[in-house]
Amino acid sequence: MSSEITSAVDRTGTLGAEPVDVAKRHASPQHAEASAGVAERPEHAALPSRQAPSRLSILLGSLGFGLVFLLAWQFVPPALDVPSYIIPTVTDLVHEFARMAARENLAVHVLSTVTVAVAGFAAGSLLGAAMGYILGMSALIEKVLSPYILGLQIAPKVAFAPLFIMWLGYNSWPKLIVTILVVFFPILVNVLQSMKTVDRDLINLARAYSMHRMQIFWKIEVPASMPALMAGLRIGATLAVIGVTVGELVGGNTGLGYLITFGEGQANTAMVFDAIVLLTIIGIVLYGAVAFLEARVLHYIPRALR
């Protein structure tokens, strides 16, 4: 019994003799675990269908699927005698796109939509985050306002668009305000939630180091809320495009949402489709920008955990 203990001590004793080396050996079990995890996978892979696909095959598969979809879109509706004012073909869309670019000031409309979407997203994010932090810092304000916030959160924000138009007229303001409103809440809620769930021990640690309230806020709470803020921004980025589109649909004479109603009035289905495609692209770019920012801000979180 005692010899067992001694030998254990000897082993660990020699480890302890070279501290830096120990540290490295410390780290290695993690790597070993990680590689063990990878090594385990081939067991599942014994089933051929579960084999991890290569990047190239994924890319080719995706492109192939898209191509088949576009081809089907191009040829199936005409084959079934569906008229092009119901479902225009892909080439119709391309022609209409060229016409819109040449004749309908498409660039102006795109620019207007992008400007309002980005401005609304930025302002909504800023206000939502600021409100989230304020409510997160004051339990009193949060408790007093929470029923109203919940109510506003549930109310369909886009339904306010006609109101804003009645108040502010046919200009960019109603669209901007609707966009701000739809972006505001998910970010507010995410930031507030993260503020309420910051590790109490971290706060106590900062308090023990005699940090005052604002130091705790800037050094602990704000950085700790970043993952939640980023998740909120992702949601906000997709909602921003919806907000601006609804604003433009309801009232206005610029933007892609306007082109949708305009195309509808002319029974120009291709125009409607083109506008939708462009709106989607704007949304994807905005989302991509947020994802890029997130990767930068949250670089300290190992990728597998994100």
Partner 1 sequence: MRKTASVLDLIAVTKRFTAPDGVSALTAIERVSFDVRPGEFVAVVGPSGCGKSTILNLVAGLDRPNEGRIQLNGVPVTGPNPTVGFMLQKDLLLPWRKIVHNVEFGLEARAISRAERRARALRELQRCRLQDFAQSYPYQLSGGMRQRAALARTLAIEPAIVLLDEPFSALDAQTKLILQKSFAQTIASSAITTLLITHDLMEAVIMSDRILVMSERPGRIVEEIPVDLPDRDNPMARIAAARSREYVDHLLASLHLQDKAA
Q: How far is the CB of 201 from partner 1 (least distance, A)?
A: 6
What is the total count of residues that contact partner 1 (CB under 8 A)?
Answer: 35
Torsion (CA) 230, 231, 233, 236 in degrees, nearest 10: 180
If one asks whether residue 99 binds partner 1 (CB under 8 A), the answer comes out as no
Is residue 190 within 8 A of residue 153, CB to CB? The reply is no
Binding mask 267-296 for partner 1 (x = CB under 8 A): ------------------------------
* Nearest partner of 152 among 127, 133, 171, 170, judged by Cα: 127
If the CB atoms of residues 13 and 162 are measured against partner 1, the closer one turns out to be: 13
Binding mask 168-207 for partner 1 (x = CB under 8 A): -------------------------------x-xx-xx-x
Binding mask 1-20 for partner 1 (x = CB under 8 A): -x--xx--x--xx-xx--xx
Among residue numbers 221 through 260, which ones bind partner 1 (CB under 8 A)?
223, 226
If one asks whether residue 306 binds partner 1 (CB under 8 A), the answer comes out as no
Is residue 85 within 8 A of residue 267, CB to CB? The reply is yes
- The piece of 22-30, 107-115, 153-161, 240-248 that touches partner 1 (CB under 8 A) is 22-30
Q: How far is the CB of 37 from partner 1 (least distance, A)?
A: 16
If one asks whether residue 69 binds partner 1 (CB under 8 A), the answer comes out as no
Tell me the one-letter amino acid at 99: R
Q: Residue numbers of the site for partner 1 (CB under 8 A)?
A: 2, 5-6, 9, 12-13, 15-16, 19-20, 22-23, 26-27, 29-30, 199, 201-202, 204-205, 207-212, 215, 219-220, 223, 226, 300-302
